[in-house]
A = this chain, B = another copy of it.
Amino acid sequence: MLTTTLVLIALARQGEPIQPIVEKPVVNAAQVELGKALFFEPRLSKSGFLSCNSCHNLATGGADNLPSSIGHKWNLGPINAPTVLNSSYALAQFWDGRAKDLVEQAGGPVANPGEMGSTHDLAVKVLASIPGYGPSFKAAYGTSDVTMARVQQAIAAFEETLVTPESPFDLWLAGDDKALSATELAGYQLFKEKGCAGCHNGPAVGGTSFQKMGLVKAYVSPSKAEGRYGVTKKPEDRFVFKVPTLRNVALTYPYFHDGSVWTLEEAVTLMGRHQLGVELAAGDVEKLVAFLRSLTGRQPQITLPILPPSAAKTPKPNAT
């Protein structure tokens, strides 16, 4: 598969604002394998019930298809869970970019009282108490010591493998003229002409910049999320969010940081109105959506890990 991808890149059409998704060579397979176990590990949560995969479900495009995620004690989060697929391509993590990379991101939800509800200390204590994890940490890091830095690094290493190459659009990018229908191709031309590609560009078709939601026309949201402002405290960063990836966007409804929009047709119409200041014709919306659907790539085939059992000394799950 890797070879195929590299050939695709070599053949890629030049000068397009979107580049193919690349499967990167795995540097430390033991770290990826450990990270996969930890990604599915409910004991990283206080309740013992929620894992990374609960909200970034690899059966459903790496997202949860909910307006906002359900966390500890059924807390409804303030923002839509972004897909984990191709997330390694983003310039920063979370909608407000408060984590600089996937390693830093992986520590956030574990200790968020409204998400996994645990603490880093408790998570490390739990994992260190599970005999079966010792050999996995040793294989990944040389010693069996469990630290939160290692946990986060391993999860990030696994997440870096979660890329979705070989979408119809990628095949077209690689030179296969038949990979896109006339409508899809017309949609891509509109995507460039109307200005969508100004923000949604790069291999992930997004994730390369922060932009204001409601750039041209104010966007009124039920969400209280204020975006970059929460990180920088600069007034101009209010409602500025990371531009989301459009890879697999047909799978990652509902849309926007507030998860308020359920169809691509409505999302495209609202993007035109609020970000570009145009009222897109129905026919143009249809073509743009056809193009967006061509961005669904080959989904990662994941064999569910078999997690090692707890020991008598393992701290007990606590649902309250």
Contact = CB atoms under 8 A, between A and B. Distances in A.
A70 interface: yes
A252 to B, nearest CB: 9
B312 A263 contact: yes
Given A57-B42, A305-B59, A310 B66 contact: no
Given A66-B49, A317-B66, A303 B306 contact: no
Interface in A169-205: none
In this complex, the interface size class of chain A, counting residues with CB under 8 Å from chain B, is 35 or more
A301 interface: yes
A319 B76 contact: yes
A214 interface: no
A84 B118 CA distance: 28
A251 interface: yes
Contacts of A303: 301-304
A155 interface: no
Interface in A29-71: 40, 42, 47-49, 54, 57-61, 64-66, 70
A11 interface: no
A299 B309 contact: no
